[in-house]
Structure 1
Amino acid sequence: MPSAFLNGIDLVYDDTGGDGEPVVLVNGTGASRTTWRAHQTSALSDAGYRVIAPENRGLPPNVLPPGGITLEAMAADVAALIDHLALAPCRIVGFSLGSAIVGELLASRPGLVHQAVLMAGRARPDTFGAALGQARRELHDSGADVPASHRAVFSALCYLSPHTLRDPRAISDWLD
């Protein structure tokens, strides 16, 4: 697993697919870079793209840097990795929090990005989004050992549409 010391952290990332046009995949809250491996990395690599998936700061093996985590710092991490690997301008995909990171990157360093895809993001937190973020922070800070089944149900409620939640096969696949 390659890494580079950027923005005060040893930024770990996957780099797959060789010399094709680069696509950077930025994940959401608490999701590892390895989440992309199941489908997206292989499909994009098979289509001839070079796929780069950084681990967000604060997720092991990356350490929580002094001063904590901010959206601006996470976007700066992605920008530093794009600069370090000489990928600009590149395609970039963000999921959930990754969408906010990509949005911040587009605002702060637009020249790094050729095309962007933002999935399951929010332009700004509404009342529910703010409450969701607060609940996640409190649960994390409590140090509670949350069972995998709880994480799966909570994630389904956050990420899946009401239509999908009512589909027994789709929700069973998600929870499994």
Structure 2
Amino acid sequence: MTLPLPPHRDTGSGEPVLLLAPAATRSAIWSLHQEPALRAAGYRVLAFDHRGSTEAYCPEGPERLGDLVADAARVVQEVAGRPCHVVGASLGAMVAQRLAIVRPDLVRSISLLGTRARTPAFTAATVREVIDAARSGAVPAGYAAACTMAQLFAPERLLDDRFAREWLDLMAMSPVRGEGAARQYLATLAVDGWAAELAAVDCPALVVGFHFDTQMPPSLVREVAELIEGARFEEVADCGHFGFLERPEVVNDLLLDFLAKASLTPRR
């Protein structure tokens, strides 16, 4: 049976840019900073919710990384109608790098924010604990919110009381719970199986690490850049795993500079 397209947005005009969100988040996360900047720069912006993000799009069966990649491919083919520049963060970055391998005809360039090509033992343990907590629903929402914030943002950011209160309230209202979120996190563990294939990526690539990222430290992110021939690596200071929210001006400048140059690069 053919699944419906994932819930998606398509705004602006110009060269299309597909935005792929982290695990257990909605595509609306991009609407805070990246979507407005891209539209203002003359790009058409597409974003969609990964399967499992909502009850409206949670097909039966595991959210294998290949399924998430297939969803992205369908959005490019059926909505964009032409190859896209693909920007992903965390899980979204893993989907982007895999899409560039298996469907190079659909990818104009990739921008990978906070990604990895292997899963260290501590990272794997952390991911599996998040999966168990999401499935059990037993972790108090407030405690889960505080722990998640410590993993996503830089220490200094957490000392900003206004920022901390806003995000604690937001995360407590939308805890990482349910089978859909669990399966998305599980999908991130598949990256080790095809890391060697990153050498086959044949499009411009930007790889961005965030200085205080405890989930995917810059040294781990840099390994991805080293596996992709000609990839550009950048490290953004004073931010954590969600650096694209903490320091959006810096990240947006990097993205726009890269996309402008990638748009001039002839397709191979």
Q: Shorter-normalised TM-score: what interval?
A: 0.7 to 0.9
Aligned residue type for 1:156: M
Aligned residue type for 2:68: M
1:75 partnered with 2:75: no
* Displacement after TM superposition at 1:91 (Å): 0.6
1:156 to 124, 139, 149: 149
Q: In 2, distance between residues paired with 1:59 and 1:106?
A: 23
Q: Deviations over 1:11-62 (max 9, x none)?
A: 1011111x21111000011110111111111111111111101110011154
Which runs of 5 or more structure 1 residues have no equivalent in the other structure?
A: 1-5
* Displacement after TM superposition at 1:168 (Å): 5.6
Q: In 1, distance between residues paired with 2:122 and 2:161?
A: 22
Q: Aligned-residue CA RMSD in angstroms?
A: 2.2
Higher relative contact order (CA 8 A, sep 6+): 2
Q: Aligned with 2:151: secondary structure?
A: helix
Aligned residue type for 2:163: D
Query: Could you tell me whether the CA contact under 8 Å between 2:133 and 2:139 is conserved in 1?
Result: no
Q: TM-score, normalised by structure 2?
A: 0.56
Q: Deviations over 1:117-163 (max 9, x none)?
A: 0001121211122112111110111023642x444433333333xxx
1:165 to 155, 158, 167: 155
| 2:6 alignment counterpart | 11
Q: In 2, distance between residues paired with 1:65 and 1:74?
A: 11
Aligned residue type for 2:23: T
| 2:169 alignment counterpart | none
**Change in 2 beyond 3 A, CA 1:116/1:87:** farther
Task: Report how many aligned residue pairs link the two structures.
Answer: 166
Aligned residue type for 1:173: F
| 2:93 alignment counterpart | 99
Aligned residue type for 2:6: L
Q: In 1, distance between residues paired with 2:80 and 2:10?
A: 13
1:58 partnered with 2:52: yes
Which runs of 5 or more structure 2 residues have no equivalent in the other structure?
A: 167-268
Q: Deviations over 1:51-92 (max 9, x none)?
A: 101110011154321212010100010001101024432111
1:107-146 to structure 2, matched below 5 A, reads: 107-144=101-138, 146=140
**Change in 2 beyond 3 A, CA 1:146/1:21:** farther
1:20-39 to structure 2, matched below 5 A, reads: 20-39=14-33
Aligned residue type for 1:37: S
**Change in 2 beyond 3 A, CA 1:61/1:15:** farther
Q: In 2, distance between residues paired with 1:10 and 1:89?
A: 17
Q: In 2, distance between residues paired with 1:168 and 1:136?
A: 21
Q: Identity percentage over the alignment?
A: 31
Moved more, 80-89 or 66-75: 80-89
Q: In 1, distance between residues paired with 2:2 and 2:100?
A: 18
Query: Could you tell me whether the CA contact under 8 Å between 1:58 and 1:69 is conserved in 2?
Result: yes
Q: TM-score, normalised by structure 1?
A: 0.83
